[in-house]
């Protein structure tokens, strides 16, 4: 697991996260990272939600673009956004140098999720948008369903889809955590 001060770099998206408070530091109550966008984000994360977690974003520098509640917002330095559990959202930076304090409550397995996605990107195991292949994604998303869910297709369709694809991915050696 991550420790305070540890830094993860995603060479594909140009996003860097610096662990401020880990689940070990807070007895699982909070994960706090500073997210730094080192280049124009080439793609937005998919519209997603967190069924068991609340997120709080506080813009430290620059402007953060957000889609939440069906509308687009631009948050500027000093602004704060609370994303309640179950609320579909996505965010990205249109310029380099954006810095955001990002809190996730409770932490659950979010640190491991970040380590997995960033590790895959560092090893060149993602596409140009930073996403793993379909079978590996099915294994990961099925494993981290308390932390991260796609906003579409509907959850019952995703469960069925992942129930079929994740076992195939595991047979091919894909694991929910990377490195395995």
Walk along the chain (180 residues) and give the pLDDT tens digit of each residue.
788 889 999 999 899 999 999 999 999 999 999 999 998 766 678 999 999 999 999 999 999 999 998 899 999 999 999 999 999 999 999 999 999 999 999 999 999 999 999 999 999 999 988 899 999 999 999 999 999 999 999 999 999 999 999 999 999 999 999 875
User: CA-CA distance, 23 to 21, in Å (whole number)?
Assistant: 7
Q: Give the Cβ contact number of residue 166 at 10 Å.
A: 21
Same domain, 22 and 79: yes
Same domain, 102 and 56: yes
User: CA-CA distance, 2 to 89, in Å (whole number)?
Assistant: 25
| Number of domains comprising the chain | 2
Which pLDDT value is given to residue 123? 95
User: CA-CA distance, 89 to 82, in Å (whole number)?
Assistant: 11
H/E stretch holding 134 reads: helix 134-143
55: exposed, middle or buried (Cβ count in 10 Å: 0-12, 13-18, 19+): buried
H/E stretch holding 140 reads: helix 134-143
**Which domain-ending residue is among 59, 90, 108?**
108
Which pLDDT value is given to residue 40? 79
What predicted TM-score, i.e. pTM, was given to this entire model?
0.93
Same domain, 12 and 99: yes
Which pLDDT value is given to residue 42? 64
Contact 139, 175 (CB under 8 A): yes
What is the CATH number for 58? 2.60.120.10
| Domain that residue 164 falls in | 114-171
- Residue 151 within any structural domain of the chain: yes
**Which domain-ending residue is among 57, 92, 108?**
108
Same domain, 22 and 88: yes
- Residue 178 within any structural domain of the chain: no
Q: What b-and-e string marks burial along 68-81, b requiring 16 or more CB atoms within 10 Å of the CB? A: beeeeeebeeeeeb
């Amino acid at each position: 697991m991550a420790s305070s001060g540890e830094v993860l770099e995603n060479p594909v998206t140009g996003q860097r996260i610096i662990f401020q408070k880990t689940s070990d530091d807070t007895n699982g109550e909070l994960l706090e990272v500073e997210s730094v966008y080192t280049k124009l984000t080439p793609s937005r994360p998919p519209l997603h939600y967190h069924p068991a977690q609340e997120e709080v974003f506080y813009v430290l520098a620059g402007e953060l673009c957000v889609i939440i509640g069906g509308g687009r917002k631009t948050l500027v330095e000093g602004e704060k956004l609370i994303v309640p559990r179950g609320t579909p959202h996505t965010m990205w930076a249109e310029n380099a140098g954006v810095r955001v304090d990002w809190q996730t409550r409770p932490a659950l397995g979010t640190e491991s999720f970040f380590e997995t996605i960033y590790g895959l990107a560092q090893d060149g195991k993602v596409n140009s948008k930073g996403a793993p292949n379909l079978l590996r994604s099915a294994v990961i998303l099925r494993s981290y369903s308390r932390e991260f869910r796609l906003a579409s297709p509907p959850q019952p369709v995703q469960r069925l889809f992942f129930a079929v694809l994740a076992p195939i991915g595991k047979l091919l050696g894909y694991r929910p955590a990377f490195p395995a």
